[in-house]
Amino acid sequence: MDVKSAFLNGVIKEDVYVEQPPEFESSQFPNHVFKLKKVLYGLKQAPRAWYERLSSFLLDRGFQKGSVDITLFLQKVKEEILIVQIYVDDILFGSSDKNLCDEFSKTMSNEFEMSMMGELNYFLGFSVKQMDNGTFLSQSKYIKDILKKYEMDSAKPMNTPMSSTIQLDKDPSGKSVDQKKYRGMIGSLLYLTASRPDIMFSVCLCARFQADPKESHLTAVKRILRYLLGTPNLGIWYPRHSTSFEILGYSDSDFAGCRIDRKSTSGTCQFIGQSLVSWSSRKQNSVALSTAEAEYIAVGSCVAQVLWLKQQILDLGLPVGTISIMCDNTSAICISKNPIQHSRTKHIDIRHHFIRDHVAKGDIELHHITTGDQLADIFTKPLAFDTFSTLRTRLDVIDINA
């Protein structure tokens, strides 16, 4: 569903005056200005005014706003639920009862000028295939477009986005490349990571050198594009009949992996049931003094994300039990359970110790797994093909046409 001229529906509360537009000048008051009653496109107040107008309309009709995502609205009718997600002037909605969808569509069309787009097939560059046994999310058309844009559509494909032996650094003696082009490539790839977690680490690593890119950095980015050339149809598979809505997190970290400042990289991914719903690869803010500290900080990032997901599930009216987080470092697990501040942990930033509170309350449980079963390993370092392809498949990043 798309709202036509969405911003023009917003009512402005501030006093805003504009000059008389050309060819609409008043002959009686040529030196006067207009006072706006509604917002216009281009005003900084426009998005906020439109959101307030829309949210008030939905709340007055029995919808509830999400507690952590204020663009999410829910309405429960007996045993059925209607979910509405707002993205500026685009509205996605779905329900367990088709009659609720039809009624919502009619209500919105009566209030706003709308255009119905039908069943969700394509949205913001994402291809959505809804099938009987699940949903497949991909960006294959977007991949083909960026490959053509950067003249990589006829290159030789690669089987991994980054060599397992690569060591990127500032390369001060290297030849500089076009900064604008390099940043454009990174920006395009960062948007692609929304459906391709398999390139998350590689893209984030190359993004660290946007200030002064060299040929070695551009070669690494082109390697990612060559990998995409060989795997354009990969996407995330979401099975329809999930056994549960249990939240499961994986947390991992390298140690001093950045060659420039020796900071570690945190890698996390979170599942709801059997479906991968979020992932991240991020360089830590400070240098870790041990592998245990690096892993513990990564666990903190994972805990913050799963708690956010927990509230989302609770907003839907579904029960959430104790959340399991998988970590392959026993020392980090012990730190989360030990309430005594030892000399080895007193230097860790206090904001990371909120893990202990949630472990004590029973909200979170940390479990040890082997490195081979650590799915978050793909977000912390470049891997050999066999390991990389195995983890990629276990994340349900597949090609449904293969």
CA 29, CA 27: separation in Å to the nearest integer? 6
Residue numbers in the chain where pLDDT is lower than 50: none
Contact indicator for 195, 189 with CB cutoff of 8 Å = no
d(CA 369, CA 280): 19
Structure tokens at 353: 């110790």
Residue 243, token pair as written in the block: 């056994």
Cα dihedral across residues 87, 91, 94, 97: positive or negative: positive
pLDDT for 106: 87
- The two tokens of residue 143 are 């991949």
d(CA 252, CA 377): 6
What does the pLDDT read at residue 240? 82
Q: Got the DSSP string for 170-192?
A: --TTSPB--HHHHHHHHHHHHHH
Q: What is the pLDDT of residue 402?
A: 66
List the structure tokens of 232: 């354009």
Q: What is the pLDDT of residue 166?
A: 86
Interstrand relation of 247-253 and 323-327 (parallel, antiparallel or unpaired): parallel
pLDDT of 339: 62
Beta carbons within 8 Å of 76's beta carbon, 6+ residues apart: 64, 82, 317
Say how far residue 132 (Cα) sits from the centre of its chain. Answer: 26
Q: How many CB atoms are closer than 10 A to CB 126?
A: 17
Of the candidates 160, 234, 222, the one whose C-alpha atom is nearest the C-alpha of residue 192 is: 234
Which residues face 280 on adjacent strands?
A: 268
Please tell me the pTM assigned to this model.
Answer: 0.85
Write down the pLDDT at residue 351. Answer: 67
- The pLDDT assigned to 11 comes to 79
How many angstroms separate the CA atoms of 268 and 256, rounded?
Answer: 17
The pLDDT value given to residue 157? 93
Question: What distance in Å separates the CA atoms of residue 172 and residue 156, rounded to the nearest whole number?
Answer: 28
Coil, strand or helix at 34? strand
Tell me the residue type at 397: V
pLDDT the model gives residue 54: 87
**Residue closest to 272 by CA, chosen among 299, 301, 236:** 236
Dihedral of alpha carbons 391, 388, 374, 256, sign: negative
Q: What is the pLDDT of residue 196?
A: 93
CA distance 124 to 131: 20
| 232 to 145, 185, 199: CA distances (angstroms) | 11, 16, 12
Structure confidence at residue 343 (pLDDT): 64
> CA 78, 118, 317 angle in degrees (round to 5)?
25
